[in-house]
Amino acid sequence: MKTVLRLLATASAVAFASSAAMAAGELNVYNWGNYTSPEMIKKFEEKFDVKVNLDGYDSNEAMLAKVKAGDTGYDIVVPGDYMIKVMIGEGLLEEVKPNEMENFKNVDPNWVDVWWDPGRNYSIPYQWGTTSFTVDTAVYDGDVDTLALLFDPPEVLKGRINMLNDMNDVINAGLRYLGYGRCNGNQDELREVLALLSKAKPHWRTMDYAVIEKLTSKDVDISQSWNGAAMRARAQRPTLKYAYPKEGFTGWMDNVAVLKGAPNLDNAKLFINFMMDPENAGLTSNFARYANGILGSDKFMEPEMLSAPEIVMPASAPAPDFVTPCPQEVVDLYNKIWTQLKQ
C-alpha cells in the first residue's frame, strides 16, 4: 500500500513539474460551461506556448456577481449581448480595441455596429444563436411552432417540460405568448404574465439550465433551449425538433472580452485576435454548435452545421428578437414575479 502511494505521489509530482515547465505564460478563461472547444484551446496553447486554464459559469448574472466581487484572476470572459453593455457601463471590461487588430477584417460587418458595443472597442463575436424550445416529435407530433406547448401544453407533454432557470427567458416567453412587449413595466400586463406562469408551472417538471442532459436522459420531452444545445441534444435523441414559435423568440450573441485588470493582458489580446481567425471560429462552432459571426469560417465547419435546422432558420420564422437590458424598475418587478412563481 505504502509503495503504491509513494509511486502515485512521485508520478503526480513529475506531472506537475513537466506541465509547469512547458508553459511560458498563462491565460485564464472564464466561459459558459460546456461551451469551449478543447481542440481550439489546444491549438492556442501550442501556437503561443501558453497554458490555458478554463473555468465555467451557467448564467450571465452568476459571472457578473463573481467578477464584481473582485480579484478573480480571470483574463477572458464571454458575456451575452446585454451583459457586455452592463459590464462596459460598470467599467469592468478592458478597452482592448479589437477593431484595430489584424484579424478584425474577418468580422461580419453585420456584427460590428451592435448596440451593446458599437464599433467593437471591447469585444468580438463568439457565438450567436436563438433561444426557443425543442420538442420530441415522437412524443408530440402536432405543430411545434407555438409557445402554447410551454404555457398551455397538450396532455402528453404535461409534466414533461423543462424551462430554463432564467428569469428573463421565462418571462420574455410569457410576454410573447400574451403578445406584450419586452422590458415591460405595464403592471396590468405583468399581472397577467404572473397568472399565466403560475397556471403553467404545475405542468413543468424542472427549471434547469442543463438542457442537453435533461433531454438526453429522457427526464423531459420538451425543453426551452438554445439552438446549439438543441442540435447537440438531437445528436443523441434524433426525434427532437427545434421550434420557431410564431409568437417570437430571443436572439442573442455571446462575445469574447477582456476583464479590466487582467493578469495576462498580452495573452488575452493574442486570444482575441486568434478568435477572429475563421479557422478557430469554425472549431468553436463545430463544438458548441452555434453560428459565429466570422466571415469565411463556414469553410472550416462540419457540413451538417451548414444545413442544420437549428442553425438555418426557415423563411417563415419571425426575425429573432434581441432583447436590450431592462431598466431597474422593470428588473425589480421581474424579480418579484420570479420569487412569487418559485415560492
Partner 1 sequence: MSDREPQSALAAAIDQNKRNERVTRAWLLAPALAIILAISILPLGITVVYSFLTPGTYGGVTWEFSTDSYVQFLFQRDIFDDTLVFNSAYVSIFLRSIGLALGATLGALILGFPTAYFIATKPREQRNIWLFLITLPFWTNLLIRTYAMLLIIRDEGIINIMLMKAGIISSPLTILYTDTAVFIGLIYSFLPFMVLPIYASLEKLDFSLVEAGYDLYANRLKVLFHVIVPLAKPGIVAGCILVFIPGLGAYITPELLGGGKKLMIGNMIAMQFGASRNWPFGSAAALILMALVIVVLLVNALAARRGASNNG
The 3-state DSSP class for residue 72 equals coil
The footprint of partner 1 on residues 102-161 (CB under 8 A) is: 159
User: Which range touches partner 1 (CB under 8 A), out of 48-56, 162-170, 240-248, 294-302?
Assistant: 162-170
Binding flag, residue 62, partner 1 (CB under 8 A): yes
The residue within the footprint of partner 1, chosen from 205, 237, 246, 260 (CB under 8 A), is 205
By C-beta, is 185 or 296 nearer to partner 1?
185
| Cell triple for 244 | 420557431
From 96, 47, 54, 60, select the one nearest 73 (Cα to Cα): 54
Binding flag, residue 167, partner 1 (CB under 8 A): yes
User: Which range touches partner 1 (CB under 8 A), out of 17-25, 60-68, 102-110, 261-269?
Assistant: 60-68
Burial (CB count within 10 angstroms: exposed 0-12, middle 13-18, buried 19+), residue 14:
exposed
Backbone angles phi, psi at 8, to 5 degrees: -60, -45
By C-beta, is 41 or 190 nearer to partner 1?
190
User: What are the residues facing 250 on neighbouring strands?
Assistant: 131, 321
The residue within the footprint of partner 1, chosen from 47, 158, 199, 218 (CB under 8 A), is 218
Neighbours of 233 (CB within 10 A): 24
In the numeric block, the cell 424550445 is attached to 133
Binding flag, residue 217, partner 1 (CB under 8 A): yes
Cα pseudo-dihedral 140, 146, 149, 152, rounded to 10: -140
User: What are the residues facing 124 on neighbouring strands?
Assistant: 256
The 3-state DSSP class for residue 194 equals helix
User: Which range touches partner 1 (CB under 8 A), out of 21-29, 147-155, 203-211, 308-316?
Assistant: 203-211
By C-beta, is 42 or 68 nearer to partner 1?
68
Binding flag, residue 201, partner 1 (CB under 8 A): yes
Binding flag, residue 190, partner 1 (CB under 8 A): yes
Cα of 152 vs its chain's centroid, Å: 27
Binding flag, residue 236, partner 1 (CB under 8 A): no
- Which spans of this chain sit near partner 1 (rule: CB under 8 A)? 59, 61-62, 64-65, 68, 86, 89-90, 159, 165-167, 187-188, 190-191, 194, 201, 204-208, 217-219, 328, 331, 333, 335-340, 342-343
